[in-house]
Amino acid sequence: MTSIAKVGVEEEFLVVDTGGEVVPEAAAVVHLASPALGARVGGEITKLQVETRTDPCRDLSVLGAQLAEARAAVQSAALSAGLRVIASGSPVLGRAVPPPITEGPRQDLGNATFRGLHDELAICAVHVHVEQLDRDRAVLIGNHLRPHLPVLLALTANSPFWAERDTGYASWRGVTWGRWPVAGPPPFLTSARQYDEHVDLLLDAGALVDRGTIFWDLRLSASHPTLEVRVADVPVTAEESLALAALVRALATVAGEAVDRGDEGPRPLPELMRLAYWRAARDGMGGHGVDVTTGRLLPAAALADRLAALARPALEEAGDVDLVEGWLARLATHGDGATRQRAAAAVRGRLSDVVDELAAGTAPDVLSREVSTPA
């Protein structure tokens, strides 16, 4: 095995009012959370969203502590302003279409370029950055990770509601994001030079605002020496984001060993990848997914177990087996985020209960302190 890579995580959250409706108050939450988090908290493209970031960490116990700290800080900040934040891939209640876009020349160019696509930007993801100092090697590792992207989407599916209705999908965010000209899996590429040439082509075609708007679900970071996996809905809990980071790092480690043996990676058919994405977004972990090597339908749990088995040697070396296997066991017992959102809605038929459940899961210690504090 190679040395254990550093990993960092970005999480996006929605700001909601006391009734659970999304509100354009992200700037207030960022301002109030900044004394605790500094540069680790910021805004997003819409005024409904807050983003937090961890430092690059080799030790996942440190990473987990930073994830929990950031969630607690933004939830505490929101509560002090009479608001809450929720970890959901899509809004549950309130006016989210079109979302209020933050101001600036970059955003103005984005509005002019992407137009109606901006109407559905009130969606939240989690991004996992895995340290990769060699860009050529990182591109080849990405080739090996591409077939796994639909399974990672299914594992984190947490956006069943949109416009105050159940979409019937586990990850509606995954569906809406797929409409963008630069979303989905990257093409099969064999060098950093070819990667850069492809980005240049997209820039020349007017499909990008700048290099930072390559929205592929797997990309070389424009500002860090990392390979960034961006396919996942933001999970309900920090523990789930941590387990995802562990799995992604392990998969990248195993892929790196294959690259070092001269393997440039598999080339699944684009139509099977598209089908696998759609099925993962529709079913999440509650149904079946597509094996992109054969086109066969398999239980989503079986695809997830197979992914964990592939990653296991690297998980063992890093000491992360229990973290990932515990996550998969909880998913088998309690369901993915979409299943849990629907379960909360089913109790009394109220979507406000879904928001309450999400807020509690986002930063449980903060809300439990709030509830136990006398008025």
Name which of 56-60, 109-113, 134-138, 140-144 the model is least confident about: 109-113
Confidence of residue 372 (pLDDT cuts 50, 70, 90): very low
Report d(CA 214, CA 208) in Å as an integer.
7
pLDDT at residue 373 in the model: 46
**Domain residue spans of the chain:** 7-372
Give residue 237's pLDDT. Answer: 98
Q: What is the pTM of this model?
A: 0.95
Structural Rg of the chain based on CA atoms = 19
The fold for domain 7-372 equals Creatine Kinase; Chain A, domain 2 (3.30.590)
What is the C-alpha separation between 234 and 217, in angstroms, rounded?
14
3-state SS assignment for residue 65: helix
Say whether pLDDT at 371 is over 50.
Answer: no
Residue pLDDT, tens place only, 167-177: 999 999 999 99
Question: Is residue 374 very low, low, confident or very high in pLDDT (cuts 50, 70, 90)?
Answer: very low
User: How high is the pLDDT of residue 335?
Assistant: 97
Query: Which pair of structure tokens corresponds to residue 151?
Result: 């399974």
Share of the chain above pLDDT 70, in %: 97
Question: Would you mind telling me the total number of residues written for the chain in this entry?
Answer: 375
| Confidence grade of residue 106 (pLDDT, cut at 50, 70, 90) | confident
Please give the average per-residue pLDDT across 87-115, as a whole number: 91
Q: Are strands 161-162 and 7-16 parallel, antiparallel or unpaired?
A: unpaired
Query: CA–CA distance from 149 to each of 184, 189, 193, 289, 322 (Å)?
Result: 9, 16, 23, 12, 22
| pLDDT tier, 310 (very low <50, low <70, confident <90, very high otherwise) | very high
The pair phi, psi for residue 3, each rounded to 5°, is -65, 155
Question: Nearest-CA neighbor of 159 among 346, 328, 340, 10?
Answer: 340
